[in-house]
Structure 1
Amino acid sequence: MTSTAAKSRFELNGWHVLAGVVGFFAVIIAVDVVFVIQAVRTYPGEVSVTPYEDGLAYNKRIAQLEAQEQLGWTAGVAAEPGAVLVKLRDEQGRPLTGLTVTGKLKRPATEVGAKALTFAEAAPGDYTASAAEAGAWDVTVEARGSGGVRFEAQRRLSWP
């Protein structure tokens, strides 16, 4: 009886170890494949819908910024209670009046909730637009003057 009892006991050999190692890595690879497929399906990594066109516009953007720098204008953008305040000054610090000022307010991480802003001149060189939502916002302000003069400023603002 002792010889049959000894034969029925499980004995670990090389094939068992090989099957265990292969099975372990098969599970790891299968889980990794599932994760990669889900990652690609949920976020394709696309930053821009029109990357080629964005690249072509790059030199135009640089030329616009150089022309803006030559103007010598400055912009102070601040978050006021329920409003965005923009103070536009020329190179001598004098207020810039009579400009058409527009803007866009958007969240730093998403396009959801983006708002167009239309500014009105509240005082010489001071332009305001209503904006009353709490949180952090990126504001882009564009001022246009006579003769096609264009000035753009970007700031991050936050309201309590």
Structure 2
Amino acid sequence: MMRQSSPSSGEFTGRHMLLVMLAFFGVIIAVNVTMATLANTSWSGLIVKNSYVASQHFNAQARAARAQTALGWTGTMGYADGTFRYTLADAGGAPVRLDASQAFFRRPVDDRHDETIPMEPAGRGTVSGAVDLKDGIWIVEIAAAAGLDAPYREVKRISVRGGVLQ
């Protein structure tokens, strides 16, 4: 007669394998659910309200961007002591006269801190406005009234650290 031997305490059995597989896939599923939940609750996903309508304006916007680039103008941004400054110079380095303009500030991954500020002329091709930028990365979009048919637009990613533009 054969006797069945009971597994010794150090032997890896089918029950152990089942527990390992359940733990492995349980961790993967838990991480995926967590990441999907965080992604779904932290950003609306809305870029434009109607992508078809936005696409109809693409060619006109591309033409305007090429015309603006052809001007050869250079913009400079600065931020310190709660004041954001934007200076625009023409291809020869002379200041471009700027009237009242706007600056749009937004975080790259979140829309909770978006802010639009008016910018007033501050002399010598410069406009400035008061804004409280927290430390971190910001995307700044300038709409500068420079005497053109449409505002001169510049979009730049900036880094603020210690209340100063880096």
TM-score normalized by the length of structure 2: 0.71
What does residue 77 of structure 2 align with? 77
CA-atom RMSD in angstroms: 3.2
Displacement of 1:25 after TM fit? 0.8
In 2, the alpha carbon distance for the partners of 1:26 and 1:35 equals 14
Q: 1:12 aligns with which of 7, 15, 26?
A: 7
Deviates more, 1:136-145 or 1:64-73: 136-145
Deviation at 1:130, TM superposition (A): 0.9
Partner of residue 130, structure 2: 130
Alpha carbons of structure 1 residues 30 and 82: separation in structure 2 relative to 1, 3 Å: closer
* Alignment partner of 1:93 is 2:90: no
Counterpart amino acid of residue 6 in structure 2: E
Q: Would you say the 8 A contact 1:68–1:150 is kept in 2?
A: no
What is residue 148 of structure 1 aligned with on the other side? Answer: 149
Give secondary structure in 2 for the equivalent of 1:148. coil
Distance in 1 between residues matched to 2:82 and 2:16, nearest whole Å: 65
Where do residues 47-66 of structure 1 align in structure 2 (5 Å cutoff)? 48-50=45-47, 53=51, 56=55, 59-66=59-66
1:32: which partner in 2?
Answer: 28
Q: Residue 110 of structure 2: SS of its match in structure 1?
A: coil
Is the contact made by 1:103 and 1:140 (CA closer than 8 Å) also made in structure 2? yes
1:80–1:40 CA distance, 2 compared to 1 (3 A): closer
The answer for unaligned runs of 5 or more in structure 1 is: 1-6
| Between structures 1 and 2, the one with greater helix share | 1
- The answer to whether the 8 Å contact 2:98/2:145 transfers is no
Question: 1:63 offset after TM fit, Å?
Answer: 3.0
Q: Partners in 2 of 1:17 and 1:121 — Cα distance?
A: 78
How many residue pairs end up in the alignment?
151
Give the Cα separation in 2 of the matches to 1:41 and 1:157: 29
Q: Which amino acid aligns with 2:152?
A: F
